[in-house]
Structure 1
Amino acid sequence: MDLDLILKTQLQPRRPRVKEGKCFLPLLLGAWVTAMICGRCPAAPGKEPPSFQEVYELLKENLAGATEAELNEAAVRGLLDQLAAKVSVVGETPRTPVSTNTSASISAVVFDRSYGYFRVRRLAPGTDQEFQAVYTRLQSTNTLKGLILDLRFTGGQDYAAAVALADRFFAREQPLVDWGEGWKKSTVKTNAIVLPVAVLVNRKTTGAAEALAGILRHRDVGLLIGTNTAGQASMAREFLLKTGQRLRLAIAPVKVADGQELPFSGIKADIEVEVSPEDELAWYEDAFLAPPKSARSASVTTNETNLASTNRSTHRRMNEAELVRMSREGQSPEREFPPTNALGRLLEPPPQMVNDPALARALDLLKGLAVVQQFRSI
């Protein structure tokens, strides 16, 4: 099946029709060149943008050293870059079974002995069961007052896994999501999680993870903290190309809750936390990392009410591997160096400061909600 035919007939919104008999290469290269030119040099008011056919012919006839194959490759790459949220090449058809990743999907720790942090590394079959097992273990050794679900850098296309995990937060049956296979609903249960939830998202939250975030937000389970998601949650269809690769096209947006479409511009965070991609990744790997000089003046208010205004603690920072180990052992990151006597407790340095802005803001939010609930219960 030709790529131009797939794009013309399947991609939403549909692109303008072109005359029959036009070469496939001009269509691709023209779309790329037009998009690039229009983005950098907008057409004057009242004038149409350059014709892609005209641009292509000029390149083909006059661009020194460029072969037709090179123009074709540049056109395809440009087109995929411009429509990255809606079109992607997902790889060659595997000739042998793909090995299954057996590493843990969920890692978790407890902050302040009351707030469970769950990092969802990927959404796959069984992720919901793994989440429930970790949650049950932490709940048995701590009095949890809220949960943080970290979906930053989480993606995939397993929408069924997203539904299964979201279902843990609903006690009755209600529509959750439709990704082109009809509405998937939650199930009736007596052990649904009813704690306040904060969901961390960023521009690398894609596909099924976006759907999970959208379900929890639009069903009022939790608030989103971070930046807009990627905008890649879509009803998709795949087409086999002659190269053996598959072209995935977004044919319609995914719907959540009672029919709300997840926008291709991404889901907007309720509480926006803007940091540079480099700093965000560094904090994702080590939440206690001291903020860079550029971010210190605008850092988020600390989530620790008893901290001094310095990070000069004698505690060493824990990396992700240590957090995973402590999670499996049911430990809290603040208990790594327990005092051996009363004097030790007096001399113990203050707990580590969480410098990850999104995580710190989530902890602040959950603590505030816990205080409000405490006053309401009086």
Structure 2
Amino acid sequence: MRLTLRWQPSRNLAGLALLGWLVASVPLSLANAAQMPGFDEVYGLLRSNLTGMAEAELEQALLKGLLQQLGPRVNLITNASESVTGGQAGHGLTKSAVFDQSFGYLRVAHVGAGLATAVSEALAKLNATNRLQGLALDLRYADGFDYAEAVNVADQFVAEERPLLSWGETKARSSAKTNAFGHPITVLINGQTAGAAEALAAMLREARAGLIIGGPSAGQASLFKEFALRTGHRLRIATTPVHLGDGQAIPHTGLTPDILVAVNAEDEKQYYADAYKVIAKPVSPPPPGRAATNQTSGATNRASRLNEADLVRMKREGLDPASVVTGSDRVTAPPKPVVMDPALARALDLL
């Protein structure tokens, strides 16, 4: 297959659309498989023939397309407070809970120093009042670049000694132990699970300690270098991949979950804030010619009536018939709350 470009000068923005296709839409694998036109040739034609756009605007369009094509391995950093070591301070364990008095839940927002200790203490506290039979580790929206701390967390769930992770010149192994958390683990990830959080999820799966559920991760498990630019921005470039214990690099395309649970991005944020939230969905109108029906129309709220035998029995026992609660007036226990978060519900079902 030979990919060729026939350029026809135009006095509109069609040329820019074509360049955007070349830079941002064509996968790099296709560029290797087919001969692409030379950049200098295309750029020269655009500069000479494209009207209605200044050269500076053209360069900005090229830059945006290039960053889009190379992301997430290349990022333009505009926030001065963000650094390659992660955007948050502290261990990042933000929530612990128990579902059905049997399944622990830990939420991590950031993999940083002290996370392993926080996880250990949280598990001990949950076990003190419950008999845990499994754990859901929620790494959705979690980030961080502290790979050593990610290893320390994973080590708590691996009983035997084995290689876990390597990055740069560092190679880390788990230690043999008898007090490892030996119950089933499900790990929740999504498109914003990044860096050391991705490595933590990958280690638990590779060690056969956990099952990954949710959506593909961000693909930022690498060592990065930052370069200052004249504009004050910083260019962050992935320079070294992070490898699992079996020698496989964590892919820059992100982790693929063992069980994919597709959730709308906006809905996922709401479920993350409240796992029991009921999100109203639009109801499709009935087909033409078919009227909507009320499925509960046959139900009745009338209280059941006392018969003569009941009245005689109550009089014999000294009871007041007027004080008896019957029918719909009977007090029932409130319904048990149901987890509506699709990913979390699936994770708990598998424990």
Normalized against structure 2, the TM-score is what? 0.72
**Quick check: 2:189–2:213 contact (8 Å CA) kept in 1?**
yes
Would you say 1:217 and 2:202 are equivalent positions?
no
Select which of 35, 52, 62 maps to 2:49: 62
**Quick check: 1:85–1:230 contact (8 Å CA) kept in 2?**
yes
Q: Specify the alignment match of 1:302 in structure 2.
A: none
Q: Specify the alignment match of 1:350 in structure 2.
A: 335
Would you say 1:121 and 2:106 are equivalent positions?
no
> Cα offset for 1:37?
6.2
The separation in 1 between residues aligned to 2:99 and 2:46, in whole angstroms, is: 59
What CA RMSD, in Å, does the superposition of the two structures yield over aligned residues? 3.1
Would you say 1:182 and 2:167 are equivalent positions?
no
Deviations 1:35-77 (A, max 9, x none): 23647xx99xx97444322221233233335333333332222
The separation in 1 between residues aligned to 2:283 and 2:120, in whole angstroms, is: 36
Q: Specify the alignment match of 2:344 in structure 1.
A: 359
Distance 1:124 1:37, change over 3 A: closer
Distance 1:32 1:126, change over 3 A: farther
**Quick check: 2:155–2:174 contact (8 Å CA) kept in 1?**
yes
Provide the identity percentage: 45
Q: Within 5 Å, give how 1:232-251 maps onto structure 2.
A: 232-251=220-239
Structure with greater helix percent: 1
Normalized against structure 1, the TM-score is what? 0.67
> Cα offset for 1:220?
0.2
The separation in 2 between residues aligned to 1:139 and 1:358, in whole angstroms, is: 24
Q: Within 5 Å, give how 1:291-370 maps onto structure 2.
A: 291-293=279-281, 347-366=332-351
DSSP 3-state at the match of 1:347: coil
Would you say 1:74 and 2:61 are equivalent positions?
yes
Deviates more, 1:115-124 or 1:153-162: 153-162
Deviates more, 1:269-278 or 1:170-179: 170-179
DSSP 3-state at the match of 2:197: helix
Q: Specify the alignment match of 1:274 in structure 2.
A: 262
**Quick check: 1:92–1:244 contact (8 Å CA) kept in 2?**
no
> Cα offset for 1:238?
3.2
Q: Which runs of 5+ in 1 are unaligned?
A: 1-29, 297-345, 367-378
Which is greater in Rg? 2
Select which of 265, 275, 279 maps to 1:287: 275
Deviations 1:324-369 (A, max 9, x none): xxxxxxxxxxxxxxxxxxxxxx722121110111111111111xxx
- Does 1 or 2 have the higher relative contact order (CA < 8 Å, sep 6+)? 1
Aligned residues: 283
Q: Which runs of 5+ in 2 are unaligned?
A: 1-17, 285-330
